[in-house]
Amino acid sequence: MAFRAIAASPGFAGKLIVVSAIGLTSAAWLAHQHADVATDDPLSGATTVTPAASAQGAASEAVANAAPASESAPAFRVETAVVEHSFSEAAQRLGLDAATTARLTRAFSGRLDFRRDLQRGSEIRFVFRNDADSANGANVVNAAKDSNDASASNAGATQDAQSSPDTPVAIRISNGNVSHDLFLYRNLAGKAFYYSADGHAAMPSFLRYPVTFTRVSSHFSLRRLDPVTHRIQPHEGVDLAAPVGTPVHATARGTVMFAGWQTGYGKVVKLDNFGPYSTTFAHLSRFANHLKVGQTVTKGQVIGYVGATGWATGPHLHYEVHVDQVAQDPLTVDLPHRDPLQGEDKQRFAQQVALMDPLL
């Protein structure tokens, strides 16, 4: 379905003036750095906004030498999209590439089910950092950024980060009177994640879905008429329909406990994840290359490919989540999250939220 033309909200011009003032008055403590590349870090190519005391001197000088506010571009820009079909199309209509859109989808996965919760007419607001390539006269922002070049280099800035400057530093999704906000922050350890305003990481330790699927072909149930055996029996997982060969990803870090053939399951991988969690991936067409029992896999790693082996009426992934060896509904089970920000990280993040929140 085609999107209607996306335009700034009515108060956008006023926001630009506010944003311009914020860009000048906050440049003394705000440094724009590339995010570090980290294992299990979905935002390894992100550009993030982080306070940095070491940049104060250079940033203050940049403010003193900057062009008048009326001639300089604002430090940030705000863009709005109204959903008519999907989050992905709305984001890409604003110029976000597929990789960034996928990262944002994963970041919201612990809070929103885009297939179920996102509605036609839902509003998405993005805050982007302006730079020399995307705005004229953004010398204040770039001076603050340049003053921190050494820190950005040490943080492991990559070519990917430089080629994708439009990673949102804040996002709000509004469904009626309910809003969900996320803010991008690079912590003191150099890792970039999206966090909610209270400092909790948005990305769960578990992914909700292990595969890109077209529909849920069979739900979790304690009593289901099995379409193959025609008997009433528990269905201890969820069936996610997808084409043969679609990659299947580990939903959390874990150890391969089994990778082989089992009656009913066909080709199946079973992982022992951290804590009380374990996961099962069945009806695979084949396993990932070199996958073997005892191997440690990371969250998001490809472990196999969708098929229809075993007792299956068509291509799909049968996915199970067990907590303390008890099967739970994968679509509703509570997923563990990373520890919230603490100490200095928490204080710095609160400053960043105070800067970004008025723009949303």
How much is the average pLDDT of 351-357? 90
Average pLDDT score over the chain: 74
Q: Is residue 179 part of a domain?
A: yes
pLDDT at residue 241 in the model: 95
Paired residues of 259 in beta bridges: 269
| Residue 190, Ramachandran bin (φ over 0: left; ψ between -120 and 50: alpha; else beta) | left
Integer Cα distance of 35 and 186 in angstroms: 6
What predicted TM-score, i.e. pTM, was given to this entire model?
Answer: 0.54
Question: Which CATH number does the domain housing residue 185 bear?
Answer: 3.10.450.350
How much is the average pLDDT of 268-291? 96
Residue 56 and residue 180 in contact, taking contact as beta carbons nearer than 8 Å: no
Integer Cα distance of 148 and 152 in angstroms: 6
How much is the average pLDDT of 144-171? 45
Integer Cα distance of 118 and 179 in angstroms: 11
Residues 42, 176 within the same domain: yes
CA angle 148, 192, 334 (to 5 degrees): 165
**Distance of alpha carbon 290 from its chain centroid, rounded?**
28
pLDDT at residue 296 in the model: 96
The percentage of residues in the chain with a pLDDT greater than 90, rounded to a whole number, is 32
Confidence of residue 51 (pLDDT cuts 50, 70, 90): very low
Integer Cα distance of 221 and 239 in angstroms: 11
Integer Cα distance of 259 and 280 in angstroms: 10
Residues 165, 304 within the same domain: no
DSSP state of 345: H
Which has the closest alpha carbon to 216: 116, 304, 86, 89?
116
From 1-15, 113-127, 320-334, the region with the lowest mean pLDDT: 1-15
Cα distances (angstroms) measured from residue 143 to each of 75, 130, 159, 309, 352: 11, 12, 20, 58, 19
**Distance of alpha carbon 183 from its chain centroid, rounded?**
11
Q: Is residue 355 part of a domain?
A: yes
- State both tokens at 53: 């005391």
Q: Is the pLDDT of residue 96 over 80?
A: yes
Q: Is residue 153 part of a domain?
A: yes
Please tell me the total count of domains within the chain. 2
Radius of gyration of the chain (CA): 23
| 3-state class (DSSP) for residue 296 | strand
Beta strands at 232-235 and 221-225: parallel, antiparallel or unpaired = antiparallel
Confidence of residue 276 (pLDDT cuts 50, 70, 90): very high
Q: Is residue 186 part of a domain?
A: yes
From 40-54, 68-82, 125-139, 160-174, the region with the lowest mean pLDDT: 40-54
pLDDT at residue 91 in the model: 86
Q: What is the DSSP string of 101-131?
A: HHHHHHHHTTT--TTTT--TT-EEEEEEE--
Confidence of residue 336 (pLDDT cuts 50, 70, 90): confident
pLDDT at residue 165 in the model: 56
Residues 315, 351 within the same domain: no
Domain residue limits at 251: 215-328
Confidence of residue 63 (pLDDT cuts 50, 70, 90): very low
How much is the average pLDDT of 87-106? 84
CA angle 345, 351, 355 (to 5 degrees): 140
Residues 31, 154 within the same domain: yes
Residue 120 and residue 86 in contact, taking contact as beta carbons nearer than 8 Å: no
pLDDT at residue 229 in the model: 66
pLDDT at residue 28 in the model: 38
Residues 84, 155 within the same domain: yes
Residues 141, 35 within the same domain: yes
Residues 164, 248 within the same domain: no
Confidence of residue 20 (pLDDT cuts 50, 70, 90): very low
The percentage of residues in the chain with a pLDDT greater than 70, rounded to a whole number, is 69
* More confident: 222 or 271: 271
Beta strands at 277-287 and 326-328: parallel, antiparallel or unpaired = unpaired
- The number of CA neighbours under 13 Å toward the Cβ of 8 is 13
* More confident: 134 or 153: 134
Question: Which CATH number does the domain housing residue 277 bear?
Answer: 2.70.70.10
pLDDT at residue 73 in the model: 64
Q: Is 333 exposed, middle or buried (0-12, 13-18, 19+ CB in 10 A)?
A: middle
Q: Is residue 183 part of a domain?
A: yes
Q: Is 152 exposed, middle or buried (0-12, 13-18, 19+ CB in 10 A)?
A: buried
